[in-house]
Chains A and B, each alone.
Chain A
Amino acid sequence: MTTNSNQSNQNANINYNDLQSEIRHLAKDLLESKKVRIVIGYGSGPLNSKPVPVFITDANDVDRLVYNEFCFNNLSIYLTKAEIKAKAPWAIVVKGCDARSVIGLVVENQIKRDDVFTIGVSCNGVKLEGNTLSKCDTCAVKNPSNINVNKVIGNIKTASSTSASTLDKELEQLNKMSAEERFQFWKNEFDRCIRCYGCRQICPHCFCNNCIAEKSAPQWISTTPGSRGNFAWNAIRAFHLVGRCVECMECSRACPMGIRLDLLNHYLAQEVRDSYNFVAGMDLEQKPPLTTYNLKDNQDFIK
């Protein structure tokens, strides 16, 4: 398979070729020095399609590693997979949003911080089918230096844009709708759900080995892909990520039916930020908001 490094992938102020070679160089050192046993990174896809996750264990395979603006996968999901967990310590190429997932996994005791060497790569927004994902509009971690990563590669200077992202505009649309209209919108979205559980399998924070959707005694969520089961499943999945979702939006990308999970995640993440001044995956010391409390928490919705 030919690597596509010759592809001209200059970006406004990121030279992806430099980043790519720096990643390869760093991966080689880490593997040779036995500091890590596996490097999880991006490789060129089958028949030159979009990049895919690759797992390098041999130092002289590092040239399979690529990096460009189409590397949208959140690789930290693999840190929760049994077969990869057994190969600790790992190195992992992470953009800002992915690095936040790694922090989230450490906070929830799934991995130990010193088992993972995070290669934080500057990112000016990833592209899917030609257009930059809406999550990148207001990304505050384009340069992952402010997150606890081992090494930062590339130093992008763009300040995160404060203008409302397309997601925020769409949220305004939704909030303007009446309760019945909003219910119809979400009912139609969830009715299309085919329960392939792609959203669950791709989310780094869905690491339960026995998901609640598989629990049958009692069955809280009906497994039949009808409106009732789908509504309950999507509601519970989103609720289980309150205060934990880092808005990498992989779930809405993975959803084959195009359900607008990003709207739901973004709304809940904003509510957590407004109510508890908490942003997921930014700080190793902070516990997820629902596992702590504050005496002066808001309770004006309680009679």
Chain B
Amino acid sequence: MNNTTNNKKENFEPRIIAFVCQWCTYTGADLAGTSRIQYAPNVRIIKLPCTGRIDVHFILKAFEQGADGVIVSGCHPGDCHYTSGNYYARRRFEMFKKMMGFLGIDDKRLQFAWVSAAEGRKWGTLVDEVTNNVRALGPFEDYKSLKIFQAE
């Protein structure tokens, strides 16, 4: 990283990884596409069957892999195709978010959301919002400083 940190902050484009459920948010993102809603290109979507399948390991590995922000989104409570996947996920996410905050990870970098298949517009604004928040925070230097071994 030869450029200086503040210079990095100017033309810094955050990398956001999104873990979404295929029944609601993935289809919602499709709807955002069919309705040609323009939103920030920084997000990379990974499809999963349900928020119930989204594991805390994925989030940690995403940050380890250099993501500056992570979005996790799925069906609204009650709409889950598997009836209760998002209820369990809600509790798990709440505790994980609290722990990450306690460990010093700014909670704007980890955003949870419910986006249904009919909310294409909400998906667009969600991505824009998270991208702007993370751009303001700058690259996630803290997590990038965690190297595999000391001398790396």
- Residue ranges of A at the interface with B (Cβ–Cβ < 8 Å): 174, 179-187, 191, 212, 220-222, 224-229, 231-232, 235-236, 238-239, 242-243, 264, 267-268, 271-272, 275-276, 289-291, 293, 295, 297-299, 301-303
Contacts and interface: CB of A to CB of B under 8 A. Distances in A.
Contact of A298 (B61, B94, B99, B142): B94
B87 interface: yes
Contact of B60 (A186, A236, A243, A291): A236
Which of A179, A187, A232 gathers most chain B CB within 10 Å? A179
A179 B105 contact: yes
Nearest to B122: A303
Contacts of B84: 293
Q: Is the interface of A mostly helix, strand, loop or mixed?
A: helix
A235 B60 contact: yes
A185 B102 CA distance: 11
B77 A295 contact: yes
A301 B94 contact: yes
Given A293-B84, A302-B114, A303-B113, A180 B104 contact: yes
Contacts of B104: 179-187
24 contacts: A182-B103, A182-B104, A187-B104, A212-B57, A220-B60, A224-B148, A224-B149, A226-B147, A228-B147, A228-B148, A231-B103, A232-B64, A235-B99, A264-B102, A268-B98, A271-B98, A290-B91, A293-B91, A297-B90, A298-B94, A299-B77, A302-B112, A302-B114, A303-B113
A215 B87 CA distance: 28
A124 B94 CA distance: 35
A252 B16 CA distance: 35
B146 A227 contact: yes
B91 A276 contact: yes
B12 interface: no
Contact of A301 (B56, B87, B112, B146): B112
Interface string B121-152: 00000100100000000000010011111101
B87 A174 contact: no
Contact of B87 (A183, A232, A295): A295
B148 A222 contact: yes
Q: Which 5 pairs across A and B sit closest by C-beta, in order of nearness?
A: A183-B104, A182-B104, A293-B87, A226-B149, A303-B113
B90 A299 contact: yes
A232 B140 CA distance: 16
Contacts of B1: none
Which of A224, A238, A275, A303 gathers most chain B CB within 10 Å? A303
B99 A239 contact: yes
